[in-house]
Amino acid sequence: MTEKQQEIFKSALKLFAKQGYQATSTRTISQEAGVSEGLIFRHFKNKEGLLKSILQEGQKKLKKMIQPIDNLTHPKVILKHVISLPFNITKDQKDFWRVFYSLRRQMNLDFIFFDQLIKKVKSAFKAMDFSDYISESEAFMMIWDGAMVYVLLNNPKNSYIIYENLLQKFDL
């Protein structure tokens, strides 16, 4: 990636996250990036190509985010770690998530990341001898999702209170 290509990438990420993909014109992106409009198409072929590039890069980062969980074995520790994720999102990850979340109704984002997470959670609840571990996992992920949306929308500062509240609810 050249410097300007990165500039485009960053500007697009920022704008897609703020205004949404459809509402952001390539012209606006190029201006924000301080770059000619044509360059977007040279580097990313399409507006959609630019989006895909962002989604891919996003998934890479997110995979790294959950890798540490693979080494954990104790179920409660795993769940604790998973539920902490929304509250520990770094600033540069937030925009990726915002793009993901704003598009998931329209596109069929194959969210490998998500599936992996669900598996981990399921096996954890299973190991904890939950009678209906599948439903419990589903509820858990649903709340996880709620937490994520909450963090992305509100930029809360004292979110750790909510976090601890959730730990209590799941007896972690």
Binding-site ranges for DNA (CB under 7 A): 2-5, 24-28, 35-43, 45-48
88 secondary structure, DSSP code? G
25 secondary structure, DSSP code? -
Cα–Cα distance, 33 to 112 (Å, whole number): 30
- Determine which residue in the list 18, 45, 63, 74 makes contact with a copy of itself, applying CB under 8 A: 18
Cβ closest to DNA, residue 47 vs residue 126: 47
Could you say which of a copy of itself, DNA, none residue 39 binds, taking C-beta under 5 to 8 angstroms by partner kind?
A: DNA
Entry field: residues in the chain: 172
132 secondary structure, DSSP code? T
Per-residue contact track with a copy of itself, 22 to 41, x per CB under 8 A? xx------------------
101: helix, strand or coil? helix
Cα–Cα distance, 95 to 40 (Å, whole number): 20
For the chain, report the end-to-end CA distance as a whole number of angstroms. 43
Cβ closest to a copy of itself, residue 36 vs residue 135: 135
- Is 135 a binder of a copy of itself (CB under 8 A)? yes
Cα–Cα distance, 34 to 119 (Å, whole number): 43
Could you say which of a copy of itself, DNA, none residue 26 binds, taking C-beta under 5 to 8 angstroms by partner kind?
A: DNA
The residues that touch a copy of itself, with contacts defined as CB under 8 A, are 18-20, 22-23, 98, 102, 104-106, 132, 135-136, 138-139, 142-147, 149-150, 153, 161-162, 165-166, 169-170
